Amino acid sequence: MRAWILAALAAQIVCPDRAEAGTGRIERLIAEMSPAQKAGQLAMVSFEGRALSDAQRDFVLGTRPGGVLLFRSNCGSPAEMAHLTGSLQRLATGEIGGPGLLVAIDMEGGSVRRFSPGGAFTRFPPAIMIGATDDPDMAARVGRAMAEELKAVGINMNLAPVADLETRRANRVLRGRSFGSRPARAASMVAAFVWASQRAGVLACAKHFPGHGDTAVDSHRGLPVLHLDRQALARRELVPFRRAIEAGAEAIMAAHIWLPAIEPQEGRPASLSAPALAGLLRGELGHGRLVLTDALGMAAVRSGHTLDRAARLAIAAGADLLVFGEAIPIREQAAVVEELARAIRSGEIPARRVDRSLRRILAAKARFGLLRPAPVDPRRARARLESEAHRRLVERVFARAVTLVRNERGLLPVRPGRPAILVHFERQRALADALERALPIVERVALSRACGPAERERAARACESAAVCLVLTRNAVSDSAQAELVRSLPPERCAVVALGSPYDLLVFPQVAAFAAAYMPIPEAGAVLADVLRGRRRARGVLPVPLDDLYPAGAGLRGPISRSGSR
């Protein structure tokens, strides 16, 4: 890590306090709020569309929320997004007359991105790819670049980075979204990302506390259970969150996962648990800033609680912002805020508890200049996003991340004079085009997504006379068609390049050569080609060591080292 990042982390420097308000000002703001205004500040609402309809405008005016979370349906061109965020801020500070909004989005990189494909926005790499660089400076650079693009369209909060450890193969919801499985290494990446994002003026939110990695159920569909004791949590899952807090993270998102070792009430997720939030997160880890719930519309919550009860439990447990998510209609969100206002008015929710959250929310807004946010010019938004530097950054991360996991029989590099066949699926055509231009490929076999027996036979026939069968896969570990294709090819001549999850190796462990590239971006085709033909060294380190995950006798011919080299 660069010296300037180390120094900043050591000093716990977070962001410029450009609009820092004194305690007195925040107390005056709270004193002037009605119960309805206080209830609204506890809500991070969502709605569909790229522009406010009359109903949505009335919804915002009625609920007076503390924040808005944007999803893909809200994301159009840079000008459209800047216009939407500007409209929301003008409503909050003008017609409502309150503080500005936290405008949040999930910008993790990789598959978790809300912006439309193409256009002015950079396609940033997934966390696992950054983890493969083994360089926290890369995490800092990506965090800063993301923040610059978000700020350009009026977004001031990023629900990232993912601080979970990827420790269970069956956890498909997290695959590729984590920096890796090793606590200390992932923690360094998380801390660097947090610091750089906030230094660039965008609040970071580390998630999903206390760690979603060692679970097998997707909380969108059911309630995951984390069967770890406190000692194991402290050694593993909590390490990245502790580092995020030390780096000054403005927010931590609580997961909808039940921890029997922490929460005695069966089925109560951490997001609604006082022992998890007030006890573990605030008490033991010392997090004094914002706590957000994960989206309350997810099945892990809705299957066991009404929306109103979940909101009350979350506030009682220590959450500051209730994140509703896109699955809940605006009328239901408004009804919950109204019920919270009634409970605050009647004293059912103690005023002292609510005011503690309001102080944290308003202080965070003050630190980032959001009590009265500066306007964003939609006409200039795109110009601020056309960043060649960000595109070069992604290519640089890609070049550092490509990992040569195995290379038996000297299949790689691909050399002239040794017939090489390129086998790929149609959706990988753009990257395959780039590889064909740069490598000595004598034949190319493009396959449909379904890839039935006839297509597999065609690929196998093409590989019969080849010295190297170069195969591109993407998440074959969860795609039987890709797995069956590779298993139908001669393993001693098969070199697989995984363009998504490195776990692909688990479904065809006999292949002679395997490289992990983590992200199928055509722009990086030249970099990948240089690695495959030996002009560039594969420098990546596996973020999830596959040798730890193989059962005995799985067919490996020799160990795969943690460094990614044999």
| Low-confidence residues of the chain: pLDDT under 50 | 1, 3-4, 7-21, 548-566
Q: Which residues partner with 446 through β-bridges? A: 424
Report CA-CA distances (Å) from 460 to 217, 409, 455, 511, 514: 37, 19, 9, 14, 18
Residue whose C-alpha is closest to residue 177's, from 227, 211, 148, 145: 211
Contact 146, 197 (CB under 8 A): yes
Task: Kindly provide the b/e burial profile for residues 139-154, where b requires at least 16 CB atoms within 10 angstroms of the residue's own CB.
Answer: bbbbbbbbbbbbbbbb
Asked if the peptide bond before residue 210 counts as cis, ω within 30 degrees of 0, the response is yes
Q: Which of 220, 308, 355, 433 is catalytic?
A: 220
Q: Which residues partner with 422 through β-bridges? A: 444, 470
Contact 525, 501 (CB under 8 A): no
Q: For 454-513, how does the pLDDT look when each residue is reduced to its tens digit (9 = 90+)? A: 999 999 999 998 999 999 999 998 899 999 999 999 999 999 999 998 999 999 999 999
Q: What structural domains and CATH numbers belong to the chain?
A: 3-12+32-377 (3.20.20.300), 402-549 (3.40.50.1700)
User: DSSP letter string over 219-240?
Assistant: TTTS--B----HHHHHHTTHHH
Contact 40, 65 (CB under 8 A): yes
Query: Cα(499)–Cα(521) distance, rounded to whole angstroms?
Result: 9
First to last CA, the chain: 26
Predicted local confidence at residue 260, as pLDDT: 95
Q: Which residues partner with 258 through β-bridges? A: 225
Query: Cα(219)–Cα(173) distance, rounded to whole angstroms?
Result: 9
Query: Cα(312)–Cα(309) distance, rounded to whole angstroms?
Result: 5
**Which 3 state secondary structure label does DSSP give 386?**
coil
Report CA-CA distances (Å) from 1 to 180, 204, 541: 17, 20, 16
Structure tokens at 273: 């648990």
Q: Which residues partner with 207 through β-bridges? A: 162
Query: Cα(535)–Cα(398) distance, rounded to whole angstroms?
Result: 15
Enumerate the H helices of 347-446 as residue ranges: 351-367, 378-385, 388-401, 429-438
- Active-site annotation holds for 220: yes
Report CA-CA distances (Å) from 186 to 12, 177, 563: 18, 12, 15
Q: Which residues partner with 112 through β-bridges? A: 109
**Which 3 state secondary structure label does DSSP give 285?**
coil
Q: For 66-121, how does the pLDDT look when each residue is reduced to its tens digit (9 = 90+)? A: 999 999 999 999 999 999 999 999 999 999 899 999 999 999 988 777 786 666 88
Q: Which of 106, 134, 164, 294 is catalytic?
A: 294
